[in-house]
Amino acid sequence: MTSANLTARGAATRARIVEAAADLLLAHGVGGTSLDDIRERTGTSKSQLFHYFPGGKSDLVGAIAAFQSGRFIEAQRPWLDTLDSWAAWEGWREAVLAHYAGQPHYGCPVGALAAEVAGNDEALAAELTGHLERWRGYLLAGLVRMRDNGLLRAEADPERLSLVLLAALQGGKLLSQGMRSHEPLAAALDGALAALRSWSVVA
């Protein structure tokens, strides 16, 4: 059930449950978080939880991923909507670091969920991959603009470079989680942007 199918009050309640459960899943993972844990954290009954999430835990995890994805994309604006200059890419880098620095945990919410459900729930895994692809789509569009505007060499491959950027970010977040430091993410982003600049028309 989505917010569009609910009354304003029901949509607000559903959103409250999603937001309250989001950090719980990020801290303990899908496997380490039960519906009872979520009920206790959100102050909801079992019937109420299934009213808003008929598909149970999988439905709730999908809603949390959508929430986290939307929150992260908004945090990258206005840079994410342009990415048509080197200054915009630097602004994007700073926005990414600032957003994650303000989170209570070091892992990437969507990336961590996607990795955990892969091979266990194909439908949910595809949904989570869709959020990552949506995110990559913004990077890809920016790279195409950079090439079309003559800032990247004509032979630059935006598709490949967008994968480099996303892989660096997700890898940086994974190391940040293990090392409990944001330095790996900063280093990964710097490396990815250096690779991007190697395709610059201006040496």
Domain at 35, CATH number: 1.10.357.10
Q: How far is 163 from 17, CA to CA, in rounded Å?
A: 33
* One-character DSSP codes across 39-100: HHHHT--HHHHHHH-TTTHHHHHHHHHHHHHHHHHHHTTTGGGT--SHHHHHHHHHHHHHHH
pTM of the model: 0.85
pLDDT digits (tens, 9 = 90+) for 84-129: 999 999 999 999 999 988 876 767 778 777 777 777 778 888 888 8
List the structure tokens of 87.
């200054």
**Is residue 202 in a domain?**
no
**Is residue 158 in a domain?**
yes
> What's the confidence (pLDDT) of residue 6?
74
CA-based torsion, 137, 121, 38, 46: positive or negative: positive
> What's the confidence (pLDDT) of residue 155?
95
* Strands in 42-195 per DSSP E: none
Q: How confident is the model at residue 158 (pLDDT cuts 50, 70, 90)?
A: very high
Q: Into how many domains does the chain fold?
A: 1
Alpha-carbon dihedral of residues 113, 114, 115, 116, nearest 10 degrees?
50
**Is residue 33 in a domain?**
yes
Structural domain for 45, as ranges: 3-197
Instruction: Classify 32 in phi/psi space as left (phi over 0), alpha (psi -120 to 50) or beta.
Output: alpha
**Is residue 69 in a domain?**
yes
**Is residue 41 in a domain?**
yes
Tell me if 154 sits within 8 A of 147, measured CB to CB.
Answer: yes
